[in-house]
Amino acid sequence: MITIATVFSGGGGVECGAVGCGVQPIWGLEYDAEIASVYRMNFQDPLAVANICDVNPKSFTPPDVFHGSPPCPSFSRSKRGGLESAQDIQLAKSFAGFISELKSSIVTLENVPAYEGSESMKWVRDALSRGGYEWDESVYNSADYMVPQTRKRFVVRAVRGASLPPKPVASNQWISWHEAVEDLLGGLPESKMANWQLARLEDHWHGGCASWDYNTFVDEDGLLQCIRFPVTGGQTRTLDVWDEIPILVEGDAGGKRPPTVLVQDKPMFTVKTSGGGRVHRIVLPRPYRVLEVTPRCLARFQSFPDWYALPEGRGKKGLAQTVIGNAVPPAMYTAILESLLPVLE
């Protein structure tokens, strides 16, 4: 049996990916007790609820595969002017300490692209170098690995006592958001566009903004009537949503950014956590309907399997979105881990 253990475990996205290629989770470490409760809904292995800086790696059983996804708020593009903090560096030092102590045959790390150039990452590189690991660092687009989402993440693949295998082969066909949730559409709650969302869509089109890929038009009754978007040659194509295509509309109540609109053959944009007044809506033609994008839809966009249980009940939607938005897409991790498993044969 090949084993994996994780720190900064979250709700277990990495564990989902590991199980997908026959690797058994044996323990995890997560700081947030509420998020840990979602992990425990889905996995039987022991999960310690503690700050990684307060535990001794000597007390944990060494796994074959060791993974960490350190918290990334300071490095996120959504945090303007974000600076690396002393806490960020301390978390990386503690993660590096686990690498040095566990001496796992395979080590992986996932984070936002900006993590690559951080002081924190230097501590990880030093631990890998001292431990005799061979590794590579790359930014992966999760859409290349059977995830219906254009989520880009910095990934480290490291092996000890063996030559590093080639990177996983990227798929030449992306999965669209519509394909991912098509079978769920009949059961999604009816909804409506937010007033600020409609206003920005209309202002965006009439304002002639050319910096966005997709533009929409709203009529005098506030109904989304058509979608206009650039095509080859700089021309604009208009599609009547009553007659032709489902679209997915995103927006953020904060700021003044117009919503992103995706036609049905595009992958989902990056799934984020529940903060910021984020609103996702699906608009269906014939008959015209606006549907809520539920946590199960977001889980599908992240490639979580349907057996993965999400928290339900009053006040639990935000927790579900947080767990999903912070997760490593399981299908992408399956591809990454499968590329490394030959070193254990």
Q: What is the pLDDT of residues 74-95, one digit of tens each?
A: 665 544 445 788 999 999 999 9
Supply the pLDDT for residue 98: 98
Q: What is the pLDDT of residues 102-114, one digit of tens each?
A: 999 999 999 999 9
Supply the pLDDT for residue 213: 41
Q: What is the pLDDT of residues 64-74, one digit of tens each?
A: 999 999 986 66
Q: Which value, to the nearest 10 degrees, does the dihedral of the CA atoms of residues 173, 177, 180, 183 take?
A: -140
Dist CA 141 CA 307 (whole Å)? 25
Q: What is the pLDDT of residues 114-141, one digit of tens each?
A: 999 999 999 999 999 999 999 999 999 9
Is residue 276 very low, low, confident or very high in pLDDT (cuts 50, 70, 90)? Answer: very low
- Cβ-in-10-Å burial (0-12, 13-18, 19+) of 286 comes to exposed
- Cβ-in-10-Å burial (0-12, 13-18, 19+) of 267 comes to buried
Span of 22-26, 68-72, 215-219, 307-311 with lowest mean pLDDT = 215-219
Q: What is the pLDDT of residues 180-235, one digit of tens each?
A: 999 999 999 998 877 777 666 655 544 443 333 444 555 555 555 555 544 444 55
Supply the pLDDT for residue 231: 44
Supply the pLDDT for residue 221: 54
Supply the pLDDT for residue 59: 97
What domains are there in the chain, each with its CATH number?
3-173+312-344 (3.40.50.150), 189-293 (no CATH)
Supply the pLDDT for residue 73: 65
The pLDDT > 90 percentage for the chain reads 65
Dist CA 149 CA 144 (whole Å)? 9
Phi/psi of residue 189, each to 5°?
Answer: -65, 140
Supply the pLDDT for residue 125: 98
In the predicted structure, residue 328 carries a pLDDT above the cut 90? yes
Q: How far is CA 342 from CA 2, 75, 105, 128, 183, in A?
A: 11, 33, 11, 19, 36
Which residues, at least 6 apart from 233, have a Cβ–Cβ distance to it below 8 Å?
Answer: none
Q: What letter would DSSP give residue 187? A: G
H helical segments located in the chain:
13-19, 33-42, 86-102, 119-130, 177-181, 195-206, 295-301, 317-326, 330-340
b/e 217-248 (16+ beta carbons within 10 angstroms → b): bbeeeebbebbebeeeeeeeeeeebeeeebbb
Check: CB of residue 283 under 8 Å from CB of residue 241. Answer: yes
Supply the pLDDT for residue 207: 44
DSSP string covering 15-64: HHHHHTTTPEEEEEEES-HHHHHHHHHH--S-EEES-GGGS-GGGSPPPS
CB atoms within 10 A of CB 31: 19
Span 144-148, mean pLDDT? 97
Supply the pLDDT for residue 202: 58
Supply the pLDDT for residue 214: 43
Q: Which two tokens stand for residue 27?
A: 């323990």
Check: CB of residue 80 under 8 Å from CB of residue 52. Answer: no
Terminal Cα-to-Cα distance of the chain (whole angstroms): 11
Q: Which value, to the nearest 10 degrees, does the dihedral of the CA atoms of residues 322, 327, 330, 334 take?
A: -170
Dist CA 6 CA 336 (whole Å)? 15
b/e 154-184 (16+ beta carbons within 10 angstroms → b): bbbbbbbeeeebeebeeeeebbbbbebbeeb
